[in-house]
Amino acid sequence: MASFFNKPQAQTTKSTPKHVVDPSLQPWVEKYRPKTIDDVSAQEHTVAVLRKTLSSTNLPHMLFYGPPGTGKTSTILALARQLFGPDNFRNRVLELNASDERGISIVRDKIKNFARQTPRAQTASSDGKEYPCPPYKIIILDEADSMTQDAQGALRRIMENYARITRFCLEIANTHLLPTGSSNLWRRGCSKFRFTPLDHSSTSTRLTHVASKEGVEIDGPVIEALISTSAGDLRRAITYLQSAHRLSSSTQPPTQITPRDIQEIAGVVPDDAIQDFVQSIGIETDTDIHVDAIGKSPFEQIRNKVREIIREGYSATQILSQIHDMVVSHPTLNGKQKSNCALVFAEADKALCDGADEELWILEVALRIHKAVA
Amino acid sequence: MSLWVDQCRPRSLEDLHYHHELSTRLRSLASSGDFPHMLFYGPSGAGKKTRITCTLRQLFGSGIEKLKIDQRIFLSPSKRKLEVNVVQSNFHIEITPSEAGNYDRVVIQELLKEIAQTQQVDLNAKQKFKVVIINEADSLSKDAQAALRRTMEKYMSNMRIILCANSTSRLIAPIKSRCLLMRVAAPNAEDMQAVMQHVSKRVGFDLPPDVASKIIDDSGGNLRKAILCLEALKMQSPDLSGALTIAKPDWETYCHKVADLIISEQSPARVMEVRQKFYELLSHCIPPTIILKQQTVADRVVERVDDAIKADVMHWAAVYEVRMRIGSKKIYHLEAWVVKVMSLYKHFFYDMDLTGFD
């Protein structure tokens, strides 16, 4: 009787293991994370240095810095996987990121406890491959700059004390965000690796690779649109591609992905809307949209245009950056006019970061550019 | 007897009156099984919330309408109790984390982890995941947004997040890149006209098109406001004929009075008078941003001054609005703006050189 009850139970636990995500539901960013460090796109210098650690079994503390989506997390995860193999991975690597509580108490308890454990002996790996499995553990602190100041301070001692059996890998977006005291220590005690934004060709190779694996048809212009909207951030490019694919495959019948789809997903304001807007504030564009100016003062006209564009629901930062691109590369405006416009953009960007009202500031930008170019 | 806005709110994606392309997309996404995290953004009264509830209905069927309201208590790290109202059905949960102010991160972390770690129990449910709707996502603190980013990737199998925001400017890039952006633009005049006609037909009267277009002009693309306004008008004069004046809210007329005061005389005594009125407005919970924004004081002032200084008035409105956000005492900045406008106006009349004062 007991065996009768036990058996199916054992089976169900086996057939539904925890933490396994259906691959079709997984975000492509996770699915196509590089498995080995040689798969990492672009960052040749970093990869070359890290490859040596694979054979030498020695690893310094590491500080990875660079803009988002350049492969910081992917690199360290791939490296750890290659060092320890799938079986040892769980007890040798601790990954903490901003969605976990990371106050001082966590640093004192969780990180310290993990750091002081002597690594367990290597167990034979189940997939039959040889892993170097060096005698240390790795603690990955993603987005380390968003940790509290206290926690960063507490981390310094732990890093020094347990350096023999634990290596830290800190990932940050900007080096200047670290507090001076700890950043000095972090800078001295860690080898630094800079991650650069991805160049055009490696982004496009990676995107084509993902697209072909998923069976998505994309052509040149679409890849161009992806690259230009993501600005060197590979994660963003791949997420956009996945969203576009979802949209296009869910319509009946499935349609091709167009560059316009990508722009809509990325929240980019369509070119003609921006051109229309820019023209109404007095900058000439190559397209010939006639603005009817009869009977209204320029102020009224600009205000109506601003209301119109805000009603369309576009975000102010996006509008701002697109007007900026247009003004900076404008063929006929002279240097002085452009510099005056640049001042306006800088002020408006700061204001928007401080949470200012969008409509007021777009109006302000429009009025001042109008004055600057008149 | 509920308001017309609620009574006539479309319940399913088929009933929506405008943005048909968006509705088709939502419908096909909901039926494809591969439903992403979403971010709905657009001006208020454009129909973001309506679209979200319609999508949920498409996903889960009518079970979504059995709502219950709960009050949850969270503990902040310093053991302070935070009370947050939660609206939930069997399939979704709706929160407004900005209620918790600075501690919104705690609410996000606790609640999302709790939901993410429990699977859907109902075997008859159409989808395996639950949906979390986060209102006013643009007022989430940076910490709370950072807490969201990893959770969104990690617990994709049990949970989907729908964010609802007025603008994407204040959201951090990682959140935006993890969501499918859905822009809900304000409806244009024809769309609004159609909706108003539909509402009036449903309630059972004829709406003259010219009355409708008058209301539409007044509402500035906010459909909720337009329908509320229509209902108020109908109450006032049941036959909707003759000269109709759209009743402005009291505070708006009050704002106009303040603007007139600023224009008619520029003196320290007048500033004191205006200050009294501003205090009155603030104590009635009129957000100070609104006062500086269009349609109220600033707008009225701009209407009445000469073309040459219109741009300057708006410029200073923008500047003081930012300072107000950063600072803590709103009245200082409102007053500073008033004084600035007065001096601009006076100097313009006496033709003095202003450059020394900037």
Q: What was the pLDDT predicted at A326?
A: 87
Give yes or no: residues A185 and A204 share one domain.
no
CATH of the domain at A247: 1.10.8.60
Residue A133 and residue A204 share a domain: no
Domain span at A249: 200-266
At residue A2, the pLDDT reads 46
Whether chain A has a CB inside 8 Å of the CB on B289: the answer is yes
| Spatial separation of the C-alpha atoms in residues B209 and B207, rounded to whole Å | 6
Is A138 a member of any domain? Answer: yes
With CA atoms as reference, the chain A residue closest to B40 would be: A313
User: Is residue B133 in some structural domain?
Assistant: yes
H-only helix segments in chain B = 4-7, 20-32, 48-60, 104-117, 142-154, 173-178, 189-203, 209-219, 223-236, 250-264, 268-283, 288-292, 297-304, 307-326, 330-350
> What is the rounded distance in angstroms from the CA atom of residue A154 to the CA atom of residue A112?
10
Q: Are B296 and B282 in contact (CB under 8 A)?
A: no
Asked whether residue A190 falls in the same domain as residue A205, the answer is: no
pLDDT of residue A25: 66
Looking at per-residue pLDDT, the higher value among A328 and B249 belongs to A328
Nearest to A237 by CA among A270, A271, A198: A198
User: pLDDT above 90 covers what percent of chain B?
Assistant: 3
Sequence-distant (6+) residues with CB within 8 A of A224 are: A259
Which site among B27, B136, B169, B293 would you substitute to test the A interface, given the most A Cβ atoms closer than 10 Å to its Cβ? B169
Residues facing residue B73 across a β-bridge: B83
Is residue A101 domain-shared with residue A185, that is, in the same domain? yes
Q: Which residues contact A3 (CB under 8 A, 6 or more apart)?
A: none
A104 touches chain B (CB under 8 A): no
Supply the pLDDT for residue A174. 67
Task: State chain B's mean pLDDT as an integer.
Answer: 83
Q: Give the per-residue pLDDT at B36.
A: 83
Is A155 inside a domain boundary? yes
Contact B184 A29 (CB under 8 A): no
B325 interfacial to chain A (CB closer than 8 Å): yes
Total domain count for chain B?
A: 3
Q: Are residues B175 and B194 in the same domain?
A: no
> Given this model, what pLDDT does residue A348 score?
92
Same domain, B179 and B213: no
The most distant pair of C-alpha atoms in chain B lies apart, rounded to whole Å, by 79
Cβ atoms A19, B155 nearer than 8 A = no
Domain boundary among A173, A194, A215: A194
The Cα B110–Cα B341 span in angstroms is 48
Q: Sheet holding A190-194: strands in order across? A: A93-96, A137-141, A166-172, A61-65, A190-194
Tell me, yes or no, whether B318 lies in a domain. yes
Mean confidence (pLDDT) of chain A = 78
Contacts of A227 (CB under 8 A, 6+ apart): A200, A203, A204, A207, A237
Last residue of a domain, one of A162, A194, A226: A194
Of B203, B236, B269, which residue constitutes the final position of a domain? B236
- CATH number, domain of B130, equals 3.40.50.300
From residue A92, how far is each of A135, A166, A236, B16, B150 by CA, in Å? 9, 9, 30, 54, 21
Do A309 and A225 belong to one domain? Answer: no
Is residue B66 within 8 Å of B99, Cβ to Cβ?
A: no
Do B57 and B169 fall within a single domain?
A: yes
| CA atoms of A283 and B339, how far apart (whole Å) | 33
Q: Give me the pLDDT at residue A346, please.
A: 93
Residue range A258-263: mean pLDDT, rounded: 83
- Whether A24 shows a pLDDT value over 70: the answer reads no
In chain A, the number of structural domains is 3
Report yes or no for ipTM above 0.90. Answer: no
- If phi over 0 gives left and psi between -120 and 50 gives alpha, with beta otherwise, what is residue A19? left
pLDDT confidence of A15, banded at 50, 70, 90? very low
CATH of the domain at A355: 1.20.272.10
Q: Any idea which of A5-14, A60-69, A238-247 has the lowest mean pLDDT?
A: A5-14
In a domain, A283, yes or no: yes
Evaluate whether residue B1 is within a structural domain.
no
The mean pLDDT of A165-170, rounded to a whole number, is 87
Same domain flag for B165 and B25: yes
72-101 in B: which are within 8 Å (CB) of A?
A: 77
Tell whether B10 is covered by a domain: no
User: Do A137 and A47 reside in the same domain of the chain?
Assistant: yes
Domain assignment present for residue B126? The answer is yes
Minimum mean pLDDT range among A3-7, A305-309, A333-337, B194-198? A3-7
**Amino acid (1-letter code) at residue A49:** V
Nearest chain A Cα distance for residue B354, angstroms: 17
Specify whether A141 is located in the same domain as A215.
no
Give the range of the structural domain holding residue B278, as residue numbers without chain letter.
250-357
**b/e map B36-48, b = 16+ CB within 10 Å:** bbbbbbbbebbbb
Do B275 and B193 belong to one domain?
no
Residues of B in contact with A246 (CB under 8 A): 29, 32, 34, 36, 180
Residues B125 and B232 in one domain: no
pLDDT classification of A345: cutoffs 50, 70, 90: very high
Structural domain includes residue A13: no
Q: Are A248 and A165 part of one and the same domain?
A: no
- Report the distance separating Cα A338 and Cα B60, nearest Å: 54
Q: Do A364 and B154 touch (CB under 8 A)?
A: no
- Choice among A70-79, A253-262, A345-354 with the minimum mean pLDDT: A253-262
Residue B54, Cβ density class (10 Å: 0-12 exposed, 13-18 middle, ≥19 buried): buried
Looking at the partner chain, which of B29, B146, B289 has a beta carbon nearest the beta carbon of A146? B146
Between A284 and A312, the more confident residue is: A312
**CA end-to-end span of chain B, whole Å?**
56
**Shortest Cα–Cα distance, A64 to chain B (Å):** 18
Q: What is the CATH number of the domain that holds B333?
A: 1.20.272.10
Tell me, yes or no, whether A126 lies in a domain. Answer: yes
Note the pLDDT tens digit of each residue in B262-309.
Answer: 888 888 899 999 898 888 888 888 888 887 776 678 888 888 888 778
Is residue A95 located within the same domain as residue A225?
no
- Asked if B25's CB is within 8 angstroms of A313's CB, the reply is no
Please report whether residue A3 resides in a domain.
Answer: no
Distance from CA of A330 to the nearest CA of B (A): 24
| Residue B280 and residue B214 share a domain | no
- Gap between the Cα atoms of B86 and B83, Å rounded: 10
pLDDT in tens, chain B (358 residues): 678 888 888 888 888 888 888 888 888 888 777 788 889 988 888 889 999 999 988 888 888 888 889 888 888 878 888 888 889 888 889 988 888 877 888 888 888 888 877 777 766 677 778 889 999 888 888 878 888 877 777 777 788 899 999 888 888 877 887 788 888 888 888 888 888 888 888 888 888 888 888 888 888 788 888 888 888 888 877 776 666 667 677 778 888 888 888 888 888 899 999 898 888 888 888 888 887 776 678 888 888 888 778 888 888 888 898 888 888 888 898 889 889 988 888 888 776 655 555 4
State both tokens at A332.
């006929």
pLDDT at A4: 46
Q: Are residues A159 and A299 in the same domain?
A: no
CATH of the domain at A116: 3.40.50.300
**DSSP category for residue B140:** S
- Within 10 angstroms of residue B138's Cβ, the number of other Cβ atoms is 19
Biggest alpha carbon–alpha carbon distance for chain A: 93
| A46 and A152 assigned to the same domain | yes
A172 and A40 co-located in one domain: yes
The answer to whether A356 and B171 have CB atoms below 8 angstroms apart is: no
| A4: in domain | no
Domain boundary among B139, B155, B183: B183
